[in-house]
Amino acid sequence: MAANDRPIIIKKITKVAGGHHGGAWKVAYADFVTAMMAFFLLMWLINTTTPEQKRGIADYFAPASVSPSTSGSGQPFGGTTPGQDGVQGNGDASMVRRLAPTVPQDNDDSQQATPASTSETTDSPDVTQSAMAQAQQRREDALFQSAAMSLRQAMQSMPELAELSNHVIMDITPEGLRIQLIDQEGRPMFAPGATEPNPRAITLLNAIAAIAERLPNRLSISGHTDSGPAGSGNYTNWNLSADRANAARAVVQESGISDDRIYEVRGKAGSEPLYPDDPFMPGNRRISIVLLREAPILPAGHEL
């Protein structure tokens, strides 16, 4: 009987096959994939863009949101009229209004000008000339920007120029629009020690001449070398750079640039390296063509 009075104990064991972890890992994985995609996109851009395009991308993401170009569209007025200051405008209209002399009112008081008011109006021609000079400079910058954009578009639309885009650097300097044809590793513009440009350089020079022919500005052509020796004997890098600049001058003149458009041809050897930290870098070997800031050339026989 004692065995029958023993309590019966029932043990229930619950087996858990697996827990539910939620979907948080999916968010983390998506962030990781997005970051990797952005990283590989950045690597691709670094390897495929030119130095000029890299500067444009950097300016686009600058904190101040200020672009060195004349406008967002790249055109002289960027979607605004000449009398309006656009979002990225240079303030032409406001600058001229601020600097322009005050027009006297047509009343009796204006006919009785005091000596003080007369002395103030004597400065108005200088102020007007300053405003006109600034407006002229902005107009030249707009024309240079348009010429640079035309050259970029031509290089993108023509297959024979698209692959040469890495050889061209364009920027606007106090002298004017500077276009530089630089050597790349294994892809020079001139054969070692040679003074005649190869077909690659001739193609680029013809494209530059076609754009420069649309503007009245004169051209300054300079040859540059690296710090390596030019060869044996008395033939130095000064001779080599000058001969290469003169050969480039001959090519652009054959493409339609008249003789009176050539301002100077000079050789600078390795005195102005593009990469000062590495004077032997191939990019230091280049031809620099500058469309100078100056008044248009008067035709032959024209008298002031």
pLDDT at 171 over 80: yes
- Residues 93, 100: Cα–Cα separation, whole Å: 10
Q: Could you report the per-residue pLDDT of 247-278, keeping only the tens digit for each? A: 999 999 999 999 999 999 999 999 999 999 99
User: What does the mean pLDDT of the chain come to?
Assistant: 75
Predicted confidence at residue 252, as pLDDT, reads 94
Tokens of 159: 């297959």
pLDDT value at residue 14: 67
- How would residue 16 be classed by pLDDT, with cut points 50, 70 and 90? low
Residue 180, strand partner residues: 169, 288
Distance CA 58, CA 61 (A): 5
Is there a contact between 185 and 282 (Cβ–Cβ < 8 Å)?
yes
- pLDDT value at 3 more than 70: no
Question: What per-residue confidence (pLDDT) applies to 225?
Answer: 93
- Confirm if 198 and 155 have CB atoms less than 8 A apart: no
The dihedral region occupied by 79, where left means phi > 0, alpha psi between -120 and 50, and beta the remainder, is left
* pLDDT number for residue 95: 44
Helix (H) or strand (E) holding 36: helix 24-48
Q: Per the confidence metrics, is the pTM higher than 0.85? A: no
Average pLDDT over residues 130-153: 76
Q: What digits encode the pLDDT tens for the residues 173-216?
A: 888 889 999 998 888 999 988 999 999 899 889 988 988 888 88
More confident residue, 133 or 81: 133
- Which of 60-74, 145-159, 162-176, 264-278 is most confident? 264-278
Alpha carbons 35 and 48: distance in angstroms, whole number: 20
pLDDT at 87 over 60: no
pLDDT at residue 104 tops 60: no
User: For the residues 156-170, what does the mean pLDDT come to?
Assistant: 77
According to the model, what pLDDT value does residue 63 have? 58
Q: How far apart are CA 196 and CA 284, in angstroms?
A: 18
246 Cβ contact partners less than 8 Å away, ≥ 6 residues apart: 221, 223, 265
Tokens representing 100 are 């322009």
Q: How confident is the model at residue 126, as a pLDDT? A: 62
Q: How confident is the model at residue 83 (pLDDT cuts 50, 70, 90)?
A: very low
Q: Confidence band (pLDDT; 50, 70, 90) for 18?
A: low
For residue 287, which of 159, 149, 169, 191 has the smallest C-alpha distance? 169
Mean pLDDT of 87-110: 47
Task: State residue 82's pLDDT score.
Answer: 46
Distance (Å, rounded) from C-alpha 146 to C-alpha 18? 67
Domains of the chain: 138-297 (3.30.1330.60)
Residue pair 268/198 in contact (Cβ under 8 Å)? The answer is: no
| Bridge partners of residue 190, in order along the sequence | 197
